[in-house]
Amino acid sequence: MPGRLMAGAVDSGTGLAHRWLRQRGLFAELRALERSGRALEGSEEAGGDTGDSTGDGAGKVGRGEGAGGAGKIGRGEVLSIRLSRVQAALLAEAVACSRYRSRSAYLRAMATGRDRRGPILAKAGVLFFWARAHFGETIGPEGQENLKRLGRFLLGIGDVGKMLALIQRHLRAARLAASGRLGGAESLPPAPKRVQQRAGSGLSTEVSARVCRERHRLIRENVRYSAYKNKSEYVRHVALGWDRNGEILARCAAIAEWMEGCLKGQAGLEGQVGPEDWKRLDGETHRRFGVYLSGPGASGRVDVEGALRRGARHLLGATSETFASRVPAEL
């Protein structure tokens, strides 16, 4: 059913909703460019504002929209949403940890589906990615340094502890929101101070962004195809990453808790992650979700090729191989 596929009830093994939304967003960008009378080839707007339908075009989009792109396609209509105070804070953190230069640019990209990797919950897929890459290995300082670099690349946070704290904050917010128990800021662990500084204060609970007619039409179509009640709810959920599969997010939270334990020395071996630590993660995953990461999957191989691969793909919006190819070589 289209409503379920386009909303958060998508099967975690397919990621089809993500690809469909990005493709729809790409075609909408092309139509907007055509209707603005601009040629696609060689245009600065095409290179910056269109982004990549299959990859993380956040950096390109941010530069394109922040460099005077508003007058090129046009911003004749207004997209408005209402937020609670805690939702406004979470959105500000997502924008602060993205490559977009403004909240409006971020909302345009998320609402059209052009970029599905902006939310912090989407970037939390790096935990699945890292765990799958190193599962069963003894991880010393080099492996931990790789995780720091990935944190800097995705979130602008080079400290693993602070990265985990931010991810856990957003995971808890999604879980509480899904059960209708998300209250004020006191119901969540605080964001790292640096992120708070980047996000700013005095956040508005009524947010608007100017959009061109073609993009606005696409957003309204996305809402109709989704299971969300109205446009405001739809935009809030996709911008915060709350449309992601609940079980995948729960598994991500389990990995984050395990990593936090290793970091605090509660499970590590003198600064290392060793076989016993992986066994503990394996056992905890089976206890909570009935899946052994080291047990046989559907293909007969260890299920690390299933649970961790699917988690990374669902949140990051791409296969682990595709994501790895887009990480700068210097990392």
Do 233 and 285 lie in a common domain? no
Q: Are 91 and 240 in contact (CB under 8 A)?
A: yes
pTM of the model: 0.80
Q: Which pairs with CB-CB distance under 8 Å and at least 24 residues apart come from 31-37?
A: 31/214, 32/73, 32/74, 32/212, 32/214, 32/215, 33/73, 35/214, 36/72, 36/73, 36/74, 36/212
Q: Is residue 331 part of a domain?
A: no
Sign, CA dihedral 246-247-250-251, equals negative
In the prediction, which pLDDT does 162 show?
Answer: 96
Q: Does 41 lie in the same domain as 93?
A: yes
Q: Most confidently modeled of 70-79, 205-214, 223-232, 252-261?
A: 252-261
Q: What is the tally of structural domains in the chain?
A: 2
Residue showing tokens 């693993």: 160
Tell me which residue range forms the domain holding 263.
122-176+246-326
Claim to verify: residue 282 and residue 317 sit in the same structural domain: yes
Asked if residues 26 and 214 have their Cβ atoms less than 8 Å apart, the reply is: no
Question: 145 with 37, same domain?
Answer: no
Least confident of 24-33, 270-279, 301-310: 24-33
More confident residue, 53 or 225: 225
The residue among 129 and 54 whose pLDDT is bigger is 129
Are residues 197 and 158 both part of a single domain?
no
Query: Is there a single domain that holds both residue 150 and residue 197?
Result: no
Assess whether 256 and 322 both reside in one domain.
Answer: yes
The verdict on 16 and 100 lying in the same domain is: yes
Mean pLDDT of the chain: 79
Instruction: List the Cα angle 169/170/174 in 5-degree steps.
Output: 120
> Is 220 part of any domain?
yes
Q: What is the pLDDT of residues 59-78, one digit of tens each?
A: 333 333 433 344 455 677 88
Residue 260 lies inside a defined structural domain of this protein = yes
Q: Is the domain of 159 the same as that of 303?
A: yes
Cα-based angle 308, 90, 21 (whole degrees, multiple of 5): 55
CA distance 151 to 142: 14
In a domain, 296, yes or no: yes
List the single range of 61-65, 79-83, 158-162 with lowest mean pLDDT: 61-65
Residue 240 pLDDT more than 90? yes
Residues 107 and 26 reside in one and the same domain: yes
Residues 138 and 236 in one domain: no
Q: Kindly state the DSSP code that residue 304 receives in the 8-state scheme.
A: G
Same domain, yes or no: 148 and 215: no
Choice between 6 and 177, residue whose per-residue pLDDT is larger: 177
Looking at per-residue pLDDT, the higher value among 176 and 3 belongs to 176
Residue 76: inside a domain = yes
**Distance (Å, rounded) from C-alpha 62 to C-alpha 117?**
13
